[in-house]
Each structure stands twice: as C-alpha cells, then as structure tokens.
Amino acid sequence: MQDWINRLKTMWQNGKGRTALTVCGLIGIALLAIPELLPDTDQQTSVVFDTDAFVAQTERRLTELIGTIDGAGACRVMVTLENGVEYVYATEERRNSDREEDISGDDTRLTQRDDNETAAILIDTETGREGLLVTEIQPTVRGVVVVCEGGNDETVRRRISEAVAVALNISSKRVCITK
C-alpha cells in the first residue's frame, strides 16, 4: 500500500499525475455530455390504442389460421369486443383525520371525522402534465363468427371452434361457425 502511495506522489510531483487527472476529467465530462447529444430512444411515447386496428388484425390472423385447417376452405371472420382498451393510472390516497374533543363539566364528547382524498399522480412530459400510466388492459373479445366453405362439416366446425377458442382464450360457446 505504501508503495502505491509513493508512486502516486512521484507522478504528481513530476507533472504526469496532473496530466492524467486532467485527461480523466475531460473524458468524464465527455461521457456525461454524450447522452444529451444522442436522441432519447428510451423515452416513453404515448401510444393511442386503436380498437379498429386491433379488431382488423385479429380477424386477419384468425382468417389465416382457419384457412390452414383441413376442410375449412375459404373463410371470413368477424370479431366483436366486449369493451375497449382500459387505462389504469397511478393514484395516491391522502388521509385527513380531524378529531375534536368537547369537555364541559361532566359531559365529554368526542367527534372524529375521516376524509380520504384520492388524486392521480401527474408527471411532466413534453406535451404537458399527464397521468402516470400503470397498466393498459387490452380489449376483451365478446364473440367470433366464422363463415367458411367447410362450415357444415361437424369435424371441421369442432376444429375451428377449438382453434379460435384457444387462440383468443375464450369459451367455445362464444364461437359461431357456419357455411
């Protein structure tokens, strides 16, 4: 340990230590400045969920899936939703508790009132103040109608029904298949 201290003292006295410290300081400042110069790719952008695009994409993917099932033939698919996208924002709860005591002679009266306030947590963004988004709940599929050439064959209908139910995580009772 003493050896290292002596080496550092020697470097500092002959000027090499000062030069090395200056170079390290400049490199550190440059490293701090680089992120400011680069575009921010991690910045959270607000994405508006498009329910129509979700339905269209789901119908397209189901059409492709059903088209690969043996005996289904050409098909058309219609998807209905139970609800749209739901956004859950962070909130904070403040508890206000007021307590009053009224003492008059032998009579003591205690009054207590609890008020709870719930407020959304807001953050500053480039577009202004926005609520802090905690989660985004995707739409729930209500039902699916499949019209296909093989819709009159019971085996094909069962295969399609099972495939759609598993793909969308819905009950097979919510799937209607016809020719």
pLDDT, tens digit, for every residue of 113-146? 666 777 778 888 888 888 888 888 888 899 999 9
On whether the pTM is more than 0.85, the answer is: no
Length of the chain measured in residues: 179
pLDDT, tens digit, for every residue of 39-86? 554 444 445 567 888 899 999 999 999 999 999 999 999 999 988 888
Q: Which class for 79: exposed (0-12), middle (13-18), buried (19 or more C-beta within 10 A)?
A: buried
For 120, the token pair is: 């959304």
pLDDT given at position 175:
94
pLDDT given at position 92:
83
For the cut 80, the answer to whether the pLDDT of residue 159 exceeds it is yes
Q: Which residue has the higher pLDDT, 167 or 22?
A: 167
pLDDT given at position 106:
60
Percent of the chain with pLDDT over 90: 35
- The closest alpha carbon to 176, from 141, 142, 145, belongs to 145
CB 85 within 8 A of CB 50: no
